[in-house]
Chain A
Amino acid sequence: MVFLPNMVVICVNLCVSVVLKKGLDMQPWQNPELEEIKNHFIEWTGENIAGDREERDREGVVSAERWKKMADKGALGICLPEAYGGQGAPVSHAVAAYEGIGYACHDNGFIFALLNQFFGVQMTLNLIASDKLKETYLPKLISGERQCAYAFTEDVSGSDAFTMKTTATRDGEGFRLNGTKCYLTNSPHSDLAVVFARTGEGRSPFALTAFLVDMDWEGASHGRDFEKFAYRTVHMGEMIFDNVFIPADHVIGRVGAGLQVLTESTGWERAIVISCALGPMGRTVDECVARAKSREQYGKPIGAYQGVSSRIANMIMRQQMSRLAVYNIAAKLENGNSILSFLQEAAMTKLFVSDNYIQTQQDAVQIFGVRGILLEHPYQQDLRDSLATSIWAGTTETLKNTVAKMAGLPVE
């Protein structure tokens, strides 16, 4: 038997730990600054936003007060320019903030609504809209004074943009908008909308245009609401456009650039809005670990049974790998790279995190047993809410097609 001198063993251990720590410090998701932001928002959200989970979920309560609180906290402008009221911080700071918010607050629908406007609407306007549109509307959106829905989907048109029937035809110095958009997140409370409409024929790459529409304009109205089993605290509705006149300066980008606007915004949704899953996953893992330690059956904690411990090990792995994926793509976006360069990665990120989130919440229901299905406990709500992530910004099936096509496979 060979014995290494103690000092050699100690030095080897020190070297290994230094190398490992150095490696960890270099990874974006291990950044102490991001941990600090996350922890700050966990604490702040717990004190200011969280609470009344069961009632709000059961009654489908939407809180304008909470939205304003988040806006006043700066949650809608973290990585948008200071010129419009934002903080000009890196994208990863927004991911960390919303991870903290999601950890402390069970109101998954509310958090999704915020992120949807932040990255689906505001970020797109910031990147593509004219200076005039940005100066007019971004400050009001960031401050919470106004809310904007993303009006793309129609009853007959989802993943296939070219099946949409809403039209915008030229009329003097503007356009006339006609059509109905539905299944729109937060539209019942939105007084603005990014609306996609046909300005051309067929499947031409220039057939669609995006407009910024004020719902106070003549002919614009809100239609029915849709009751959901997931994200019950963000309402979903219709927007109806009956010969609405849109001034030409409210075109987003340019006429015929609708697909570009759509691609940019869905890229951001897939890459970053999915960060709404990180906080809930983290909270769920922590609660399940605590449960597995404290709940005893047959004289020992249930965490001693491999059926439970293996399940939790998988949950931990999924949560950490999901964080890795989202923070990694956020870091790439911070290096000045356009989301258009990472469309396949954005699709994969959303797919990966959504699958992990759903599985994690299913596992939690199992670990908590009968409590997992009681309305007075949050686990069933978290499972219901997680299911929505397999649908928004492209269904799981659509995204798998996207990933395969970008790899050159002849998917139809």
Chain B
Amino acid sequence: MDSKAQIKEFILTELVKDKEHADLADADPLIETGIIDSLGIMKLIGFLEDNLSIQVADNELIPENFSSLNAINSLVSSKVS
């Protein structure tokens, strides 16, 4: 499973309480729509660091890096490459 799929699965199974977002699109805004709240972001970061073997630097903790599935995957890809 590629990193984007792993991230999507984590979001849908661990963070999203609302079943309406089961068909989450890659570009859907996550934070501003409340799909993921501040706690969810922290849990997601923990998942990225533990399961995708990356380190999120303090200056990378900005909303833009977590605004959508695409944004999160871009952050991960930039670190893996």
Q: Which A residues contact B (CB, under 8 angstroms)?
A: 200, 204-206, 254-257, 259-260, 263, 340, 408
Q: Is the CB of B61 within 8 A of A255?
A: yes
Closest to A128 in B: B42
A263 and B63 contact, Cβ closer than 8 Å, known pairs A255-B58, A256-B58? no
Within B32-63, the residues touching A (CB, 8 Å) are 37-39, 41-43, 58, 61-63
Q: Is B23 at the interface (CB under 8 A from chain A)?
A: no
- Provide the residues of chain B in CB contact with A257, threshold 8 Å: 42
**Bound Cα distance from A205 to B45, whole angstroms:** 13
- Provide the residues of chain B in CB contact with A204, threshold 8 Å: 62-63
Q: Is the CB of A260 within 8 A of B42?
A: yes
Q: Is B18 at the interface (CB under 8 A from chain A)?
A: yes
Q: Is B75 at the interface (CB under 8 A from chain A)?
A: no
Residue from A205, A259, A263, A408 having most chain B Cβ neighbours under 10 A: A205
Q: Is B31 at the interface (CB under 8 A from chain A)?
A: yes
Since A205-B41, A256-B58, A263-B39 are in contact, a sample of 15 more A-B pairs with Cβ atoms closer than 8 Å, ordered by chain A residue number, is A200-B62, A204-B63, A205-B31, A205-B37, A206-B38, A206-B41, A206-B62, A255-B58, A256-B61, A257-B42, A259-B39, A260-B39, A263-B38, A340-B39, A340-B43
- Pick 15 A–B contacts, CB within 8 A, sort by A: A200-B61, A200-B62, A204-B63, A205-B31, A205-B41, A205-B63, A206-B38, A206-B62, A254-B61, A255-B58, A259-B38, A259-B42, A260-B42, A263-B38, A263-B39
**Bound Cα distance from A255 to B59, whole angstroms:** 9
**Bound Cα distance from A295 to B58, whole angstroms:** 67
- Provide the residues of chain B in CB contact with A263, threshold 8 Å: 38-39
- Provide the residues of chain B in CB contact with A206, threshold 8 Å: 38, 41, 61-63
**Smallest beta-carbon distance B13→chain A, Å:** 14
Closest to A256 in B: B61
**Bound Cα distance from A220 to B31, whole angstroms:** 36
Q: Which B residues contact A (CB, under 8 angstroms)?
A: 18, 31, 37-39, 41-43, 58, 61-63
**Smallest beta-carbon distance B68→chain A, Å:** 15
**Smallest beta-carbon distance A262→chain B, Å:** 9
**Smallest beta-carbon distance B39→chain A, Å:** 6
- Provide the residues of chain B in CB contact with A255, threshold 8 Å: 58, 61
**Bound Cα distance from A205 to B67, whole angstroms:** 11
**Smallest beta-carbon distance B11→chain A, Å:** 15
Closest to B56 in A: A254
| The 8 A-B residue pairs with the shortest CB-CB distance in the complex, in nearest-first order | A205-B38, A256-B61, A255-B58, A206-B61, A259-B38, A260-B42, A204-B63, A205-B41
- Provide the residues of chain B in CB contact with A200, threshold 8 Å: 61-62
- Provide the residues of chain B in CB contact with A254, threshold 8 Å: 58, 61
Closest to A264 in B: B39
**Smallest beta-carbon distance B42→chain A, Å:** 4
**Bound Cα distance from A205 to B58, whole angstroms:** 13
**Smallest beta-carbon distance A124→chain B, Å:** 14
Q: Is the CB of B18 within 8 A of A408?
A: yes
Closest to B40 in A: A205
Residue from A256, A260, A263 having most chain B Cβ neighbours under 10 A: A256
**Smallest beta-carbon distance B54→chain A, Å:** 14
- Provide the residues of chain A in CB contact with B31, threshold 8 Å: 205
**Bound Cα distance from A408 to B31, whole angstroms:** 16
Closest to A202 in B: B63
**Smallest beta-carbon distance B48→chain A, Å:** 13
- Provide the residues of chain A in CB contact with B42, threshold 8 Å: 257, 259-260
- Provide the residues of chain B in CB contact with A408, threshold 8 Å: 18
**Smallest beta-carbon distance B10→chain A, Å:** 15
- Provide the residues of chain A in CB contact with B61, threshold 8 Å: 200, 206, 254-256
- Provide the residues of chain A in CB contact with B41, threshold 8 Å: 205-206
Residue from A260, A340, A408 having most chain B Cβ neighbours under 10 A: A260
- Provide the residues of chain B in CB contact with A259, threshold 8 Å: 38-39, 42
**Bound Cα distance from A204 to B41, whole angstroms:** 11
Residue from B18, B37, B58, B63 having most chain A Cβ neighbours under 10 A: B58
Residue from A200, A206, A408 having most chain B Cβ neighbours under 10 A: A206
**Smallest beta-carbon distance B25→chain A, Å:** 21
**Smallest beta-carbon distance B62→chain A, Å:** 7
- Provide the residues of chain A in CB contact with B18, threshold 8 Å: 408
